């Protein structure tokens, strides 16, 4: 830096800065007056009031104030400076030093943040589990935005349904969410077994050793850390350092020889990363992450214990949720289980934000045969790929090529909730369940009244030979599908919670009775659960023809005969107590008259009511008749029905 003299010439201006003197250049001067934002420029009114400055001021005949031009701002020209006394130049230098310190301090505040400050540490706050093997996961994380206004996380789920992956800030505006890959290189140091003599030498540096060389001579000394090449090393002996060839060593003796050597290894890891960009840097932001994914399901199971309390039949019902986790670790998280199945139209499509398509492309190149099989099964880029597992199910596909579900135990269809049920949520306490683990959680226990009902369901299947030529080969025109009377328990749901469809274990005290299916039962409704076939209640069916009217009608160019028949049922109660019975009879034709207050339900023609049917479907009905009665011990209940049907002549 220079100042101008009276002749207009520029001479160097040397300012003392605490110790010695240094030449101040224009670049240095301007750098001192331009601290990093957001610090403001240092004020020129700064004063250094040390005793040395006061003595210097008192020894000078006059002290010139700072020229007005010096206060004009940091962009002032150097030729605006004039020569000043020593004390003023010292004051200027101290101002420069103070400005430098302020600039350094401000710059320190603006240094980039460490990566850990902007990394979201996600914790799972809620898990909602459905019976069909899907779940909704809600996570929360907090971090400070970096200089770009970004926070990130490497905890990217391996699966999510298309359109269900959402990131929402609790405050502030989220500008974008970017899913990508990051590569990190990690260096590790580990001990490996020595493979060569030089490795033993390297692993025993600074130790004394004895050598027998190939010419029979002996050497002793200390192995030095200097290694010239893989073929030589330096041995410190009494005579001095000696270069020894590895190939000349015939025998090596070292006390407490170390047979391992330390090696550094570096590995490059590639991981997924989600980056969230906000409007401002240096602000703490909380992000809620929500996604719907496969891999977590629950199965309801029941225990029904039949008792009799105060002369009233009572059923003790306990329900538990068996939870199967094949998705991700759940640590101390409240779980909700849902009755019913949500309607997620795109559940078979993977969200692009989980980068699954990129992984599949890499697998396609690495293992084209494997990926070709996956595509041939129709899965493509779908969540079905996450539904392959080993464990309970040890097969790749079911019949028809359908892929087994994640956390699937090959449940029968009746144990899978139907979409007609409204969604209802059971709230469970906090649970820790790692991937691959299973849990059984009690959900409810209650006592409800029940009654025994003995049901007899008959389905009459008729062969169409009533007017057929003889010799057709069919011996009997009537076939009963079953002739079994079942004991069932009728449960009344007097709670405020629905009972979802699930397997039910039925006991009476310590005696097991049966395992059956408890169907979906809303509150204030009733359901029946079969127990066993009754051996003390038997039934039979007798049928006879009442009349036959030939050429009764014509249909579609054919002539039909009207055949009237009467069916009588006999149900005997051999028990020592009265029983409630319910008989359901299904047959071809139309019911004309029913005894014992039977209820009739007419339906259109059903092909399963016939064998070798030759007529037109529109001419005959299908009928269902239901009788209910209380049968005393040793008595027989004998309802009957008159009906008719049409047979083609």
pLDDT digits (tens, 9 = 90+) for 490-546: 999 999 888 999 999 999 999 999 999 999 999 999 999 999 999 899 899 999 999
pLDDT higher than 80, residue 344: yes
**216: left (phi > 0), else alpha (psi -120 to 50), else beta?**
left
Percent of the residues in the chain that have a pLDDT greater than 90, as a whole number: 49
In a domain, 33, yes or no: yes
The answer as to whether 15 is a domain residue is yes
347-374 pLDDT, tens digit each = 888 888 888 754 444 444 444 554 444 4
Looking at the domain assignment, is residue 241 inside a domain? Answer: yes
What domain range is 248 assigned to? 202-256
List, in order, residues 6 or more apart from 210 with CB less than 8 Å away: 218, 219, 220, 252, 253, 254
Confirm whether 599 is domain-assigned: yes
- The per-residue pLDDT for 368 is 53
Is 521 a domain residue?
yes
CB-based burial, 363-385: b 16+ in 10 Å, e otherwise: eeeeeeeebeebeebebebbbbb
Q: Does residue 611 share a domain with residue 510?
A: yes
Question: pLDDT value at position 321?
Answer: 95
Task: Answer with the one of 45, 79, 109 that is the final residue of a domain.
Answer: 109
The total of other beta-carbon atoms located within 10 Å of residue 174's CB is 15
Q: Kindly indicate the confidence band of residue 422, based on its pLDDT and cuts at 50, 70 and 90.
A: low
Tally of domains within the chain: 3
Using CA of residue 203, residue 209, residue 210, residue 214, what is the dihedral sign?
A: positive
Q: Are residues 580 and 474 both part of a single domain? A: yes
The predicted structure's pLDDT at residue 9: 44
Per-residue pLDDT, averaged over 124-131, amounts to 94
Predicted confidence at residue 227, as pLDDT, reads 58
Q: How many Å from the N-terminal Cα to the C-terminal Cα in the chain? A: 127
CA triple 502-508-510, angle to 5 deg: 105
Give the residue from 256, 283, 301 where a domain finishes: 256
Among candidate residues 230, 256, 282, the one where a domain is terminated? 256
Higher pLDDT, 74 or 300: 300
Distance CA 270, CA 474 (A): 73
User: Which pLDDT belongs to residue 107?
Assistant: 37
How does strand 296-309 pair with strand 502-508? Answer: parallel
> Residue 499, Cβ neighbours under 10 Å: how many?
25
Q: What is the CATH number of the domain that holds 218?
A: 2.30.30.520
Asked if residue 213 and residue 98 are part of one domain, the reply reads no
Does 388 have pLDDT greater than 50?
A: no
Do 69 and 213 have their domain in common?
no
Indicate if 512 and 617 belong to the same structural domain.
yes
Whether 497 maps to a domain, the answer reads yes
Residue 6 lies in a domain: yes
CA–CA gap between residue 399 and residue 395 (Å, rounded): 11
In a domain, 468, yes or no: yes
């Amino acid at each position: 830096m220079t100042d101008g003299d009276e002749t207009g010439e520029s001479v160097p201006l040397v300012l003392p800065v605490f110790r010695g003197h240094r030449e101040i250049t224009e670049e240095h001067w301007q750098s001192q007056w331009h601290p990093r934002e957001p610090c403001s420029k240092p004020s020129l009114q700064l004063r250094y009031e040390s005793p040395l400055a006061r003595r210097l001021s008192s020894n000078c005949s006059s002290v010139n104030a700072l020229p007005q031009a010096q206060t004009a701002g940091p962009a002032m020209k150097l030729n605006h400076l004039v020569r000043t006394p020593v004390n003023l130049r010292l004051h200027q230098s101290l101002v420069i030093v103070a400005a430098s310190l302020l600039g350094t301090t401000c710059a320190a505040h603006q240094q980039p943040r460490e990566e850990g400050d902007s990394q979201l540490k996600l914790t799972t706050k809620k898990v909602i589990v459905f019976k069909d093997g899907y779940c909704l996961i809600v996570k929360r994380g907090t971090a400070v935005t970096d200089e770009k206004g970004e926070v990130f996380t490497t905890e990217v789920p391996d699966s999510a349904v298309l359109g269900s992956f959402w990131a929402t800030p609790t405050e502030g505006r989220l500008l974008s969410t970017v899913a990508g890959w990051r590569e990190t290189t990690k260096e590790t140091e580990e001990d490996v077994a020595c493979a060569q003599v030089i490795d033993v030498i390297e692993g025993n540096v600074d130790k004394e050793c004895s050598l027998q060389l190939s010419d029979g001579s002996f050497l002793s000394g200390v192995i030095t850390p200097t290694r010239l090449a893989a073929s030589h090393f330096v041995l410190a002996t009494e005579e001095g350092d000696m270069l020894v060839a590895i190939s000349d060593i015939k025998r090596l003796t070292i006390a407490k020889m170390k047979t391992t050597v330390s090696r550094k290894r570096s590995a490059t890891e590639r991981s997924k990363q989600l980056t969230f960009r906000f409007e401002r840097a240096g602000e703490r932001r909380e992000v809620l992450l929500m996604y719907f994914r496969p891999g977590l399901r629950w199965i309801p199971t029941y225990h029904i214990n039949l008792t009799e309390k105060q002369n009233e039949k009572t059923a003790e019902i306990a329900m538990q949720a068996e939870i199967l986790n094949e998705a991700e670790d759940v640590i101390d998280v409240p779980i909700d289980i849902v009755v019913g199945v949500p309607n997620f139209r795109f559940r078979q499509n993977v969200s692009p934000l989980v980068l699954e398509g990129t992984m599949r492309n890499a697998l396609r190149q690495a293992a084209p045969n494997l990926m070709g099989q996956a595509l041939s099964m129709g899965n493509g880029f779908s969540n079905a790929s996450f539904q392959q597992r080993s464990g309970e199910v040890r097969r790749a596909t079911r019949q028809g090529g359908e892929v087994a579900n994640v956390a699937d135990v090959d449940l029968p269809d009746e144990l899978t909730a139907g979409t007609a049920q409204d969604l209802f949520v059971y709230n469970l306490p906090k649970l820790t369940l790692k991937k691959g683990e299973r849990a059984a959680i009690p959900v409810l226990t209650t006592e409800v009244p029940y009654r025994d009902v003995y049901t007899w369901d008959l389905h009459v299947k008729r062969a169409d030979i009533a007017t057929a030529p003889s010799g057709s080969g069919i011996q009997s025109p009537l076939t009963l599908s079953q002739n079994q009377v079942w004991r069932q328990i009728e449960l009344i749901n007097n709670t405020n919670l629905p009972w979802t469809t699930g397997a039910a274990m039925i006991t009476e005290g310590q005696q097991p009775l049966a395992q059956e299916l408890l169907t979906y039962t809303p509150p204030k409704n009733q359901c029946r659960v079969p127990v066993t076939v009754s051996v003390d209640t038997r039934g039979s069916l007798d049928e006879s023809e009442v009349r036959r009217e030939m050429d009764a009608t014509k249909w579609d160019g054919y002539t039909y005969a009207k055949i009237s028949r009467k069916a009588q049922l006999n149900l005997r109660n051999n028990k020592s107590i009265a029983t409630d019975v319910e008989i359901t009879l299904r047959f071809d034709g139309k019911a004309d008259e029913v005894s014992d207050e039977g209820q009739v339900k007419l339906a259109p023609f059903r092909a399963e009511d016939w064998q070798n049917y030759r007529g037109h479907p529109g001419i005959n009905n299908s009928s269902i008749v239901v009788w209910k009665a209380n049968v005393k011990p040793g008595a027989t209940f004998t309802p009957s029905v008159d009906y008719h049907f049409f047979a083609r002549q």
